[in-house]
Amino acid sequence: MYKSTVGMALFFILMCGVSFSIDVSSCWQINSSGEYVLTQNLSGAGIAVPQLQYASQACIVISSENVSFSCAGYNISNDGTGNAAGILVNGSLSINYTNVTIRDCPQIWGYKFGVYIYNNSGTTVRNVTSYNNTDGIFLYHSDYNNVSNNTLYNNTNQGIYLEYGSHNRFENNTLFNHTNYAEAFSFTTGGSDNVVHNNTIYGNYLGLIIYGGTLNNITNNTFYGNEYAIELDAGPNRVAGNTVQGSAYGIYVYGDENTVDYNTIYDCELAIYLLVALSNNITGNTVYNNSDMGIFLDGSDWENVLANNTAYNNSVGIYLSYSDYSALMGNAAYNNTANGIYVERSDECLLEDNTAENNTELGIGIYRSDYCNLTNNTAYNNTYGISLNYSVDYNILINNTAYKNANTGIHLIDTDYTSLTNNSAYNNTQYGIYLYSSIANNLTNNTIYFGGYGIWASANSSHNNFIGNTIYNNTYRGIHLLDCANSTVSENRVLNTTMSSGILLTSCSGSNVTRNAASGNFHTAIYIISSELCTIANNSIDDNPGPGIQLESSSNCSVSGNTARSCNTGIIISGGNNNITNNTASSNTYYGFQHYDDSYTRAESNVAYDNEYGFYLSGSSNSNISDSHAYNNTHGIYLDYDNSDTTLRNNTIYNNSVYGVSLFPSSGSLLANLSMYNNGYDFYANGSNYTIETCLFLNSAGAISDYTNLSIEDNQSATETYSINWSASPGSSPTDKTSFENKFVNITTQFGTASIDTISWFWDETEASGHTEADFSLWSYNSSGAWTLLNSTPDTTSNVLRQYGMNPASIYGIFENSSSEEGSTDDGGSDSDYECFTSSDCDDCYVCSDHECILPAGTCASPADCTGAYQFYSCDECSCNGYDCIYDEDCEDGYACEEGECIPPECLEDSDCDAGYACIGYTCIPPECLSDADCPEGRICENYNCVDWKCTSNADCDSGFYCDDGVCKKESIPGGPGGSSGGSSGGTPSGQGGEAEVPSEGEPETEQAQQAFPFLEGDSSGGIIPDIVFNEETRLSSGWIIIFILILVAAIYFLQRRKKERREKED
């Protein structure tokens, strides 16, 4: 008996800790705490609810706290009662029923609201399926509720509807088939800090919409097959980590200050769409395989930021329209069928650190947008890398890289007042940088190489500045300006254009081409065609296979201070009224200066040496070459056929191997005040009409002594040819005559029978001092060694001896009478036989020795008297001063002459430069890269070239990626939307396209456990051992499990005791 009493006591003690459920078998109003369990299917809405917003009746009404209501697998359906709710939690502004749970309802249908939470907080709705209602689950003025693991479909208005609610959590729900403009999730006016996490939403007209409310978080949900997946009409809210597939609109933002980040949207029409939305942040999203735009901002001004997004395989990757003050930073747009990034009518935008590659049309396009800043962007393998089109003004492009584009690297059309600085364009098929109908732009310090054309500008692209650019190894032209008036091309380096000119300007009047360096160009280094009032100044052209500088059909231009060395031809002039001054042309294969079809050009103070022709004129009229030097050429100044009215004045022509000055059939030529010496022929005339005025034929040293001053007027016939050269004394004099200052000249007929109309010998008044001018006479020396008197009546007023109709024969000289000297020797000599009696009779620096003027050892009268180790000498105050050089051209290739010394260049060959650099034009040119940091994102530096990076193993890839044929690809989650491991109930069918992102760190983890008791927490359809979900919100109480075990033990004990007592009674 004692044991029985103890057992019963234990049983009752244990039962005191256990609560028992209350059965519900009809529509019910729950007014007290407890666990309520449905025992059968219910129909209708038998409970009236007065003064309830939006509904007046319900089937289950909960008006108490601490209530657990379970359908236990039974259904609740409406019988046609209008304005009703299936289950209602009926709170109020003054009463809140906390700790209410609604669960395990497989079907709630036919109501206005399947589940209605009214003015209540702390409610949990889970494992409920609500369909064919107006709204599946409706929360009104309700906060801090949890709606999870529910299924909602085929509701006519909303699946889950929140109005004026905050801090609610919606998690692991499935919502589908809300069509005909219905919404799966809908947040209306008010409310904040709600969380929509890890839900699956598909096949709806609108997956989720926030009409009103702020600081809501829409995270890690899966959307597919919706018309609109996500729509934000208010903000600030956050949409993060979601996957959207197969919708017309992926994420549609109509509100302000929202954050849309790290979402994946694919197989849609338009992935992310911002319409009249301000100050939104679109970051880290991946959008691909969308038929229209990846990301589209339309009419969305003021500080929208798009950063680190990836857009590929769309029509347009990222598109801005009428969206001012937007910033695009760190985005990647590639493999899009139209454009990578396109900005239309959006002013003051910022594009920085973006990459656009493999897009069919434009990598980055700017259309009718002003004051935009493009910095550090990379565009490659597009048709056009970076394009600014139509009324695009006041933009800035800095440090951008455009390469391997099928047409153009950087493309400007109708773009004005824009600055391009430190950009790099290379390996572009057609153009590195292209300007069309673009005005007043500045292109500075850009590098363009390995393309078709380096820089091309055309169609009235005027007032542009091209300054300090480096352009090399392009195929056609380094810089080509066509119809571009008032352009400035300055301080550029144009090297190694392989098939055409370095710098070409056509119809570019008023342009300036100054201080450029050009070498190695196949055709002309600087070529000006059909242009007026241009300035070509202080350019340096070296080692150019084509001409150095060429003006063709151009007029009123100034060509000054240029150096053209080792070219085909130094400087070519064609046109009229041009000024060619202070230029140097040396070591050119053919011509130093070439004038053809030229008129009224003035060439002054130029130097030509070591060319075949120093100055060459053909088909030119009224040209004037003055104050210039031509030396060490084959021909000094060469007037070829059909020149007229040419003037050569104050020029010095010497040391030319064939002709000093030559006239071939030319008319009206004037040669005035020329100095000629030590040429093959100082002067050579054939069939020309010309005038010589006081030209000096100097001795071979070029000294102003022993020279002849001639003036000639002659109209040659076509068959007349003769030459004039300085001559030394033939060794004898006419009887009783002595030479006047050794003025001998050789005038010789070369072809035909020549006759000089008028020829005059002049002398200077200072020379005549001490001489009797009236005794001067002109004599010719014949081949038999005899002298013939030509003229013995000098014009002592004009200091001239003149001869008419003279037939050029040999050597001509001026003599004077010999005077007798007392004490002459028996050989009959006179004073006239002696050169001097004292040193005062000699020229400067000479001394009289034995009646001869000689130079003392170590002295000089002219540079020609100096000899030694130096290449050049000057004679200053009778002393020789030696120099290695006078001009750069006197030095070896690449060396520069500074203060008479040849200074070596930076480099002569590649080995003189740092590793990877190339020696071009005697300057070390950097390679494409020296380290990976020099390459665009996604490329590495190999052998000084940027190449695409490829992985070799999974270890090379970031977490969540694997290596596939050199490319890092995202891992797929088995069973996720678009996965290949089979479908799920209400989910994506097996094998559909796409990849699900690996969950990011920080998301709530879920652990699956096995529970042996199906009547405890868990899936009611789970069978004998259903899956139970444990997480931080749903944990089983270990205390209740212990109580249950104790109850079971007590029950067994009690039953065994009763059975024993019956046996005892029977016995």
Tens-place pLDDT, residues 661-719:
999 988 999 999 999 999 999 999 999 999 999 999 999 999 888 899 999 999 999 88
Which among 617, 607, 606 is positioned nearest to 647, based on CA atoms?
617
pLDDT of 980 reads 39
Q: Inform me whether the pLDDT recorded for 1001 exceeds 80.
A: no
Which among 580, 586, 759, 553 is positioned nearest to 671, based on CA atoms?
759
- Report which of residues 871 and 407 the model is more confident about: 407
Q: What angle do CA 623, 625, 626 make, to 5 degrees?
A: 140
What confidence tens digit (pLDDT) does each residue in 762-783 have? 998 888 888 999 999 999 998 7
Q: Inform me whether the pLDDT recorded for 297 exceeds 90.
A: yes
Mean pLDDT, range 1045-1062, rounded to an integer: 76
DSSP H stretches of helix in 275-334: none
pLDDT of 1067 reads 56
Q: Inform me whether the pLDDT recorded for 721 exceeds 80.
A: yes
Of 475-484, 622-631, 944-953, the least confident? 944-953
Which among 484, 498, 495 is positioned nearest to 529, based on CA atoms?
484
Q: Inform me whether the pLDDT recorded for 10 exceeds 70.
A: no
The two three-digit tokens of residue 601, written as one number: 């050009």
What confidence tens digit (pLDDT) does each residue in 623-654 have? 999 999 999 999 999 999 899 999 999 999 99
- Report which of residues 300 and 975 the model is more confident about: 300
Torsion sign over Cα 968, 969, 973, 975 = negative
- Report which of residues 7 and 109 the model is more confident about: 109
pLDDT of 535 reads 97
pLDDT of 183 reads 95
- Report which of residues 312 and 887 the model is more confident about: 312
The two three-digit tokens of residue 124, written as one number: 């949990």
Tell me the three state secondary structure of residue 1053: helix
Q: Inform me whether the pLDDT recorded for 2 exceeds 50.
A: no
What confidence tens digit (pLDDT) does each residue in 704-714 have? 888 999 999 99
pLDDT of 838 reads 57
Mean pLDDT, range 357-361, rounded to an integer: 97
How does residue 784 score in pLDDT terms, banded at 50, 70 and 90?
confident
pLDDT of 309 reads 98
The values of phi and psi at residue 1060, to 5°, are -70, -40
What confidence tens digit (pLDDT) does each residue in 230-257 have? 999 999 999 999 999 999 999 999 999 9
Question: Long-range CB contacts (< 8 A, 24+ apart) of 854-863?
Answer: 861/701, 861/703, 861/705, 862/701, 862/702, 862/703, 863/701, 863/702
The values of phi and psi at residue 170, to 5°, are -120, 115
What confidence tens digit (pLDDT) does each residue in 898-930 have? 878 888 888 888 888 988 888 887 888 888 888
The strand pair at 923-925 and 918-920 is best described as antiparallel
Q: In sequence order, which residues have a C-beta less than 8 Å from that of residue 731 and are 6 or more positions away?
A: none
Of 252-266, 313-327, 934-948, 968-982, the least confident? 968-982
Single-letter amino acid code for the residue at 596? Y
As a whole number of angstroms, the distance between CA 588 and CA 545 comes to 9
Q: Inform me whether the pLDDT recorded for 31 exceeds 50.
A: yes
How does residue 355 score in pLDDT terms, banded at 50, 70 and 90?
very high
| Mean of pLDDT over the chain | 87
Mean pLDDT, range 720-728, rounded to an integer: 93
Structural domain boundaries of the chain? 1-140, 647-817, 1008-1036
As a whole number of angstroms, the distance between CA 809 and CA 614 comes to 29
pLDDT of 706 reads 87
Q: Mapped to the 3 state alphabet, what secondary structure does 946-1000 carry?
A: EEECCCCCHHHCCCCEEEECCEEEECCCCCCCCCCCCCCCCCCCCCCCCCCCCCC
- Helices 2-16 and 1038-1066 meet at what angle, rounded to 10? 150
Which among 659, 716, 721, 660 is positioned nearest to 688, based on CA atoms?
716
Which among 416, 527, 410, 408 is positioned nearest to 464, based on CA atoms?
416
Residues 416 and 439 sit within 8 Å (Cβ to Cβ):
yes
Q: Inform me whether the pLDDT recorded for 851 exceeds 70.
A: no
As a whole number of angstroms, the distance between CA 8 and CA 1004 comes to 46
- CB-based burial, 455-476: b 16+ in 10 Å, e otherwise: bbbbeebbbbbbbbbbbbbbbb
Between the alpha carbon of residue 27 and those of residues 42, 97, 110, 119, 136, the distances in Å are 7, 20, 15, 21, 19
- List residues bridging with 963 in a β-sheet: 968
Taken as a whole, the chain contains a residue count of 1067
The two three-digit tokens of residue 443, written as one number: 């292109």
Single-letter amino acid code for the residue at 1061? E
- Report which of residues 826 and 538 the model is more confident about: 538
What confidence tens digit (pLDDT) does each residue in 117-150 have? 999 999 999 999 999 999 999 999 999 999 999 9
As a whole number of angstroms, the distance between CA 675 and CA 490 comes to 37
Percent of the chain past pLDDT 70, that is, above it, reads 88
As a whole number of angstroms, the distance between CA 29 and CA 87 comes to 10
Q: Mapped to the 3 state alphabet, what secondary structure does 681-744 carry?
A: EEEEEECCEEEEEEEEECCCCCCCCCCEEEEEEEECCCCCEEEEEECCCCCCCCCCEEEEEEEE
Q: Inform me whether the pLDDT recorded for 263 exceeds 60.
A: yes
Q: Inform me whether the pLDDT recorded for 830 exceeds 70.
A: no
Q: For the whole model, what pTM was predicted? A: 0.72
User: Which residue is it, tokens 């729950």?
Assistant: 30
The percent of the chain in helix, strand and coil, each rounded to the nearest 5, is 5, 45, 50
How does residue 1016 score in pLDDT terms, banded at 50, 70 and 90?
very low
As a whole number of angstroms, the distance between CA 162 and CA 159 comes to 10
Residues 297 and 320 sit within 8 Å (Cβ to Cβ):
yes
